[in-house]
């Protein structure tokens, strides 16, 4: 009897120990740092626990639900969207989400992954459907911002925050793509031609500016040279004029101080007339007193004879002052010659015949 009771007690203790081990395994739970735990007791929300070791009641009394709090990437499947100008484009996007409230994620939405993707597809069709093809291709950033605001507002009640939305591609049909490539090629060629024309224009402007500056410098140099030459000519003429004036003044002073006689003046007068007659002119105009000068030639001849020893000179004995020449008598008036072609206007008409 004693041995049987001891064996039964040992089995009981062994079973109880196993029970404690199993119960401990069911009661102790570990929550990772990026997770939050939601504990339900008998099907009712009990509490939310953070990362670490958590004790719950086993055997279905408490249940633990873990929620991942990390930012997740949701890939929106490609879909065809019709733009406002009736062009079918294929749109693909990705969404970055983050759980902010594990309780609302658990109890307000069944599968927030699928719900967020479907919501993104619907709103993406609406946004691109209100745009033309060109607007959708050039407004990627605007589409991202608008879609992110719409999704963030809709998922807030689920305890989910939409961090950002990125459009991966907006792909038009093949024929539209070909036309766009031709258009872009033409646009690039046009820009290249404009840039080349601008470069040629700038080059021509620079070249013309250089020519203008060169001509200006050359003109300034010529003007400076002309100015210097004019100054030199002016200085030369002024110097010559001053020299001639001084020479004339010296000659005049010598003549004035030498007290020249009338005979010397007459001789110089004749020398001047000789110089005039030796010129190349075919006509010579003599002064008004030439007639009286001709009358005094005899007197000058006597003067020369006296100087050559042929008679007494002034200051010598027997010298006689020559008589002054008589003025030349004016020529006798002649009767005017009658020319029938040119009648005399002073005669009366009856005497012209």
pLDDT at 287: 59
Helix, strand, coil distribution of the chain in percent, nearest 5:
55, 20, 25
Q: Give me 4's structure tokens.
A: 């049987």
CA 68, 69, 71, 73 dihedral sign is: positive
Question: What are the boundaries of each domain within the chain?
Answer: 21-68, 72-172, 259-271+296-313
pLDDT tens across the length of the chain (353 residues): 556 777 777 788 888 888 888 878 888 888 999 999 999 998 899 999 998 989 888 888 889 999 999 999 999 999 999 999 888 999 999 999 999 999 999 999 989 999 999 999 999 999 999 999 889 888 899 999 999 999 999 999 999 999 999 999 988 888 888 887 888 889 989 999 999 999 999 999 999 999 999 899 999 999 999 999 999 988 888 888 898 888 888 877 776 676 666 666 667 777 776 666 666 666 666 655 555 555 555 555 555 455 545 445 454 445 455 555 554 455 544 444 444 444 444 444 444 43
| pLDDT score of 176 | 81
Q: What are phi and psi of 76, to 5 degrees?
A: -80, 125
pLDDT of residue 248: 81
> Tokens 């002016």 identify what position?
234
- Residue 123's pLDDT is 94
**What three-state secondary structure class fits 173?**
coil
- Give the pLDDT score at 226: 92
Task: State the pTM of this model.
Answer: 0.49
Architecture of domain 72-172 in CATH?
2-Layer Sandwich (3.30)
């Amino acid at each position: 009897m004693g041995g049987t009771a001891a064996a039964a007690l040992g089995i009981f203790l062994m079973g109880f120990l196993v029970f404690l081990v199993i119960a401990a395994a069911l009661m102790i739970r570990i929550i990772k740092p990026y997770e939050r735990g939601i504990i339900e007791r008998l099907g009712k929300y009990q509490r939310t626990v953070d990362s670490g070791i958590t004790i719950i009641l086993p055997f279905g009394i408490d249940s633990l639900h873990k929620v991942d709090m990390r930012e997740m990437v949701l890939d929106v499947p490609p879909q065809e969207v019709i733009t406002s100008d009736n062009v079918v484009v294929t749109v693909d996007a990705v969404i970055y989400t983050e759980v902010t409230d594990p309780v609302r994620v658990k109890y307000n939405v069944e599968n927030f992954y699928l719900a967020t993707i479907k919501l993104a597809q619907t709103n993406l069709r609406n946004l691109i459907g209100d745009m033309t093809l060109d607007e959708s291709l050039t407004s990627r950033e605007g589409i991202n911002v608008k879609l992110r605001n719409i999704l963030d507002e809709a998922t807030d009640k689920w305890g989910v925050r939409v961090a950002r939305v990125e459009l991966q591609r907006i792909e038009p049909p093949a024929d539209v793509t070909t036309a766009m490539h031709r258009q872009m090629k033409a646009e690039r060629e046009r820009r290249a031609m404009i840039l080349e024309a601008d470069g040629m224009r700038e080059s021509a402007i620079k070249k013309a500016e250089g020519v203008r500056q060169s001509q200006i410098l050359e003109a300034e140099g010529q003007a400076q040279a002309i100015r210097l030459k004019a100054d030199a000519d002016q200085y030369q003429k002024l110097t010559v004029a001053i020299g001639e004036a001084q020479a004339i003044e010296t000659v005049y002073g010598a003549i004035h101080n030498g007290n020249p006689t009338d005979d010397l003046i007459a001789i110089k007068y004749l020398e001047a007339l000789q110089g005039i007659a030796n010129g190349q002119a075919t006509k010579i105009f003599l002064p008004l007193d030439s007639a009286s000068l001709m009358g005094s030639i005899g007197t000058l001849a006597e003067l020369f004879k006296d100087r050559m020893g042929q008679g007494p000179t002034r200051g010598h004995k027997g010298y006689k002052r020559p008589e002054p020449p008589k003025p030349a008598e004016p020529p006798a008036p002649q009767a005017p010659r009658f020319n029938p072609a040119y009648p005399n206007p002073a005669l009366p008409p009856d005497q012209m015949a």
